[in-house]
Amino acid sequence: MKERLQQIREEARKQIGEAGTLDALNDVRVSFLGKKGALTAVLKSMKEVAAEERPRIGQLVNETREEIERLMEDAKGKMEQALREKRLKAEVIDVTLPAKKNQLGHRHPNTIALEEIERIFIGMGYEVVEGPEVEKDYYNFEALNIPADHPAKDEQDTFYVNGDILLRTQTSPVQVRVMEQGKLPIRMIAPGRVFRADEVDATHSPSFHQIEGLVVDKNITFSDLKGTLAQFAKELFGEETKVKFRPHHFPFTEPSAEVDVSCFKCKGSGCRFCKGSGWIEILGCGMVHPHVFEMCGIDPNEYTGFAFGIGLERISLLKYEIDDMRLLYENDVRFLQQF
Ligand code: DAH
């Protein structure tokens, strides 16, 4: 029995030494210590051993088992260590590789221009308000003194939702909505999206943005309008900018004007930007028409005011020297990155 145990011990040591994988090692364990294993067989044959011999042989069996288990543990530990090292080597990271650059978002030229315009008017004490993009005919046209047969009301120019509801063609209806509330005086700008049934080209889009302005108070005169817009132009385009008021017509203002600024590119001598004229048109404006005041419940004998409407895209195209409006709507990151 003693020799058999010695034999088992040596055989196990040999096989453990030769086992190349964790699976092979497990097979070795089963063949010695498992239910049908060699050592288990020895235990089963204990009854053949003389009674006085049993404790000694029993102890020997235990020692053999412990030794086999220890050898297995050692071998297993070494194998796992080797596997770990192999994996770590395979997973090495090359820290000298160039990093992937994250594409950062950019503010849109329209957003930059609008924030600049808002900053200027807020500095002059104006409030920023908003109105709905889906608007009633009444606010978009009627209350603004635009007659039923005005060409702007034609379906060729205006997107109608139904007979009475439309996509606003201008931000001017916000004037009416603010005046209707009856809180005077008023100093506000109303930026927002407007819609017109226009074909897309370098200077047109069916959807663009305007910034409406409205001031209503006692004793507001055309001089206030001129001074305000001249100051606005200087802050936006530079101190040396000159403004020119050209008589014009808008149904909701009287008198009305269009405002040109001296070309900030050529300083007035004529270039590609100002199409050789030295001047660039930037907005429409005028004194609020008495009819509009009356429709909003404001007494035109007591109050006067001025209004203006700025095309936002026009300003961002000019300010950032972009020559095609379509670029503003494509949102190509390579384009937006430049601002
Ligand atoms: N609503 C006009 C347009 O879309 C622009 C405009 C002109 C607005 C004169 C005004 C104004 O408030 O006084 O063409």
Q: Is the pLDDT of residue 33 over 90?
A: no
| Residue 34 reports pLDDT greater than 90 | no
Pocket of ligand 1 (CB under 6 A): 170, 172, 212, 250, 253, 284-286, 307-309
Q: Which residue has the higher pLDDT, 123 or 69?
A: 123
Q: How far apart are CA 42 and CA 60, in angstroms?
A: 11
Among protein residues, the one with the nearest Cα to ligand 1's atom 6 is 309
- Is residue 154 a contact partner of residue 137, using CB atoms and an 8 Å limit? no
Average pLDDT over residues 195-207: 93
**∠ CA(204), CA(206), CA(210), 5° rounding?**
80
Residue with tokens 């530990």: 77
- Checking if the pLDDT of 197 tops 90, the result is yes
Lowest mean pLDDT among 129-138, 160-169, 261-270: 261-270
Q: Which CATH number fits domain 109-336: 3.40.50.300, 1.10.530.10, 3.30.930.10, 3.30.70.20?
A: 3.30.930.10
Of 194, 225, 252, the residue with max ligand 1 atoms within 8 A of its CB, to mutate for a pocket test, comes to 252
Hey, which residues does 134 pair with through a beta bridge?
167
Q: Among 3-7, 73-77, 260-264, where is mean pLDDT lowest? A: 3-7
Give the model confidence (pLDDT) of 146-168 as tens digits: 998 888 888 889 999 998 999 99
Kindly tell me if the per-residue pLDDT of 58 is higher than 90: no
Cα-to-centroid distance, 278 and ligand 1 (Å): 23
Contact (CB, 8 A) for 192 and 131: yes
The C-alpha atoms of residue 154 and residue 196 are separated, in whole angstroms, by 11
pLDDT at 61 over 90: no
pTM: 0.73
Name the nearest CA neighbour of 193 among 178, 180, 203, 206: 206
State the Cα–Cα distance between residues 298 and 131, nearest whole angstrom: 20
Looking at ligand 1, which residue's alpha carbon is closest to its atom 12? 308
Confidence at 37, pLDDT banded by 50, 70, 90: confident
Average pLDDT score over residue span 311-333: 92
Per cent of the chain over pLDDT 90 is 60
pLDDT at residue number 3: 85
Query: Helical H runs in the chain?
Result: 2-18, 22-33, 38-44, 54-90, 109-123, 137-140, 173-180, 222-237, 290-295, 312-319, 327-330, 333-336
Which pair of structure tokens corresponds to residue 120? 């200027």
